[in-house]
A and B are shown apart, each in its own frame.
Chain A
């Protein structure tokens, strides 16, 4: 058991994910055929032996709570510790509406103080990867740093969809000398993976200090501002990182799962990703139904033709339908003879008989949850 607890912030602004986040937080966005983004954060923590996890809920958290329930699917349904969902609340000095991450963490300081572990792994919810934190925690402790940031290489800067793009520069001793949020050009390829380790007392102090100076953004007002006062170190993660900053990112990273190498990294045998169990039957290929180069979840019935797609649980493709380069979320139904190309169907979307919808790989069409075409 690690001497650490996890704190996941799920209130990330998500304008860039458009329709996918109209009715849910980024943490609850479906990913990879049967998961939600938060499954990766929770599984990473649990696979590291961290069984005390706080989830800071903020906006649209109904679908998140529905997904998490008691935490038993992640083995977080415990007598001691376990999963704690921390929704906003109103008190005399707390309006219930967070002005930023600092505000959100501050309202959870009660949970932080009560946690028995000395270190905290603080995470956002729009960066997906499969890792364990044990090595990072021991390096953090050995280095004596105030904060250790997990980072990976990302050579490009996407100006249009730039969001929470935190860049790190180091001196020769590995200490972070500069942090830049959303820089115009990638002066450094080292980009934060949205996971930070520090002593919980450090977190308490930094958050209280920022709040008392009316500063509310953890990245900007705590990390960037204090880069010279604090001993900040980096810890490199070399595996596959999916940052969901835009619809294009979302589309690209789902499609990347068709690459066996990527999917092996994200779904390693030793570190499984856990999610809510739906008890669906195995996918059934019927009649002329067939799939090519696709990821298909349980509960799907495929009677039509599917190519280069990610199919979530319980998707039905009717006879004669042709679906290519699409992401079809749970319970989507494609009617007889319909043709879909580069489309994202959110949950429970029904496309009736003989419809023809196409976007482009560079601009996939999204149909909102529950739409009937």
Chain B
């Protein structure tokens, strides 16, 4: 195997339990996003656009959808002679073998994979963030600083800083202190979960950490503090631009809404930084004679006969006559029946909403008690669900 300067390890094992029923049968990185993409398209496209041609995807939860989606890596130009994209599930070696017990453990179990390429640097990514980032620039900063590890940080509003892992740095950007969700934050530089390590340095730390029974084998909680206390040179790399963790129903909905408008918060229409995805080979979308589409994204294969406003229609979605879709996300191949109303909702992949149904209807006393902790005011219909004709589904309810 030829030597690589830097390879990427993408952590895609998380269950994404806060996405509720959406991740019941697929890992979080496989969740559809932005009309024709899946979440993993963003870190993968970032890799390719940053000239990183070797990516290990660490997966263990419901990997089928993800495996099928990645295939040979061809849609991202990652079907390479030397390198490419590899799905790396946990495996048994000799009499040993275990599930990935943490982010650091997952990488540790794949030391043989990384060693094949004898890389100088390893880039650690997570598969649940939406952003466009040039990792090559980050690597340049890492090299210029002579760092042992570099952590990408985002400036967040001070009042929100206590929700993040916060990096306190000196005037040169060298990290002096790391605090996980501090009550009284000293800085507002939040870790984005993107790390570049010198492989030579990281490797022994991973092995040490793995032997440490008290450790939870997590990069943020264990590896970074251990490196810091041993005096390693850790630098923060400031990232400017859009970055969103889409780990919750609300943030997933918001991030989709951020794509809309003439000056969207997050711009997909970027010829310099294309996001690649697997093409489903569908014809262009069709807008019917009585349809009305305003301020929305519409993907290939969609057929729209109804009214759509401030919504994202994913590949192959079908909107029936006189249906009204507002502030909603209609995932791939979902069918919305005639006269149905969908308000501030996420309709899962392949679901069918019956005619004149109302999703996101005002909550009435007769709806009784139900839990909206995951959803708030967003109504969620899971994948492959049939909602019967005329059915009323009140705000915040989850249908599965």
Contacts and interface: CB of A to CB of B under 8 A. Distances in A.
B281 interface: yes
Nearest to A295: B284
How many B residues are at the interface, by size bracket?
A: 35 or more
Contacts of B75: 277
Contact of A286 (B35, B285, B295): B295
Q: Which of A257, A281, A294, A299 has most B Cβ within 10 Å?
A: A281
Interface string B280-313: 0111111111011111111110010000000011
B34 interface: yes
Q: Which of A260, A274, A296 has most B Cβ within 10 Å?
A: A296
B303 A290 contact: no
A77 to B, nearest CB: 9
Contacts of A33: 283-284
Interface stretch (B7-15, B84-92, B151-159, B269-277): B269-277
Interface string B234-269: 000000000000000000000000011110000011
A283 B297 contact: yes
B281 A273 contact: yes
B269 A290 contact: no
Contacts of B292: 290, 292
A260 B303 contact: yes
A59 to B, nearest CB: 29
A282 B261 CA distance: 13
B259 to A, nearest CB: 8
A291 B286 CA distance: 9
B243 to A, nearest CB: 18
A267 B283 contact: yes
Nearest to B278: A277
Contact of B269 (A257, A284, A289, A311): A284
Interface string B18-37: 00000000000000001110
A310 B283 CA distance: 12
A6 to B, nearest CB: 19
B82 interface: no
B289 A293 contact: yes
Contact of B285 (A290, A296, A303): A296
Interface residues of A, number: 40
Contacts, number: 109
B101 interface: no
B279 interface: yes
A191 B300 CA distance: 33
B74 interface: yes
Q: Which of B284, B286, B287, B303 has most A Cβ within 10 Å?
A: B284
A239 interface: no
Contacts of B74: 72
B286 A283 contact: no
Nearest to A291: B287
Contacts of A34: 283-284, 300
B36 A282 contact: yes
B223 to A, nearest CB: 35
A282 B34 contact: yes
Given A277-B279, A279-B277, A284 B286 contact: no
Contacts of A32: 283-284
Contact of B286 (A274, A275, A295): A295
B261 A286 contact: yes
A152 B18 CA distance: 56
A301 interface: yes
Contacts of B36: 281-282, 298
B289 A267 contact: no
Contacts of B262: 286-287, 303
B296 A296 contact: no
Contacts of B34: 281-282
Secondary structure class of chain A's binding surface, majority of residues: loop
Interface in A54-89: 72
Interface string A246-282: 0000000000011010010011000011110101011
A339 to B, nearest CB: 20
Contact of A298 (B260, B284, B288): B284
Contacts of A257: 283, 286
Nearest to B261: A286
Nearest to B264: A284
Contacts of A310: 284
A282 B303 contact: no
Contacts of B313: 282
Contact of B287 (A263, A272, A282, A294): A294
Q: Which of B268, B285, B287 has most A Cβ within 10 Å?
A: B287
Contacts of A289: 294
A70 to B, nearest CB: 11
A332 to B, nearest CB: 14
A22 interface: no
A281 B35 contact: yes
A258 B296 CA distance: 21
A363 interface: no
A263 B295 contact: no
Contacts of A298: 36, 284, 299-300
B286 A294 contact: yes
B281 A260 contact: no
Nearest to B45: A279
A263 B283 contact: yes
A282 B35 contact: yes
Q: Which of B260, B296, B303, B312 has most A Cβ within 10 Å?
A: B296
A32 B288 CA distance: 16
A283 B298 contact: yes
Given A72-B74, A282-B298, A263 B286 contact: yes
A267 B281 CA distance: 9
Given A281-B275, A286-B262, A272 B282 contact: yes
B300 A297 contact: yes
The 9 closest A-B pairs by CB, nearest first: A282-B35, A33-B284, A281-B268, A297-B284, A282-B299, A272-B281, A267-B283, A293-B289, A282-B297
15 contacts: A34-B300, A272-B282, A275-B281, A279-B275, A281-B269, A282-B313, A284-B296, A286-B262, A286-B295, A292-B291, A295-B283, A295-B285, A296-B284, A296-B285, A296-B286
Given A34-B283, A284-B260, A286-B261, 20 more contacts: A32-B284, A33-B283, A257-B286, A263-B283, A266-B283, A281-B35, A281-B269, A281-B297, A282-B34, A282-B298, A282-B312, A284-B269, A286-B295, A287-B262, A291-B287, A292-B287, A295-B287, A297-B285, A298-B300, A303-B262
Interface of A: 32-34, 72, 257-258, 260, 263, 266-267, 272-275, 277, 279, 281-299, 301, 303, 310-312
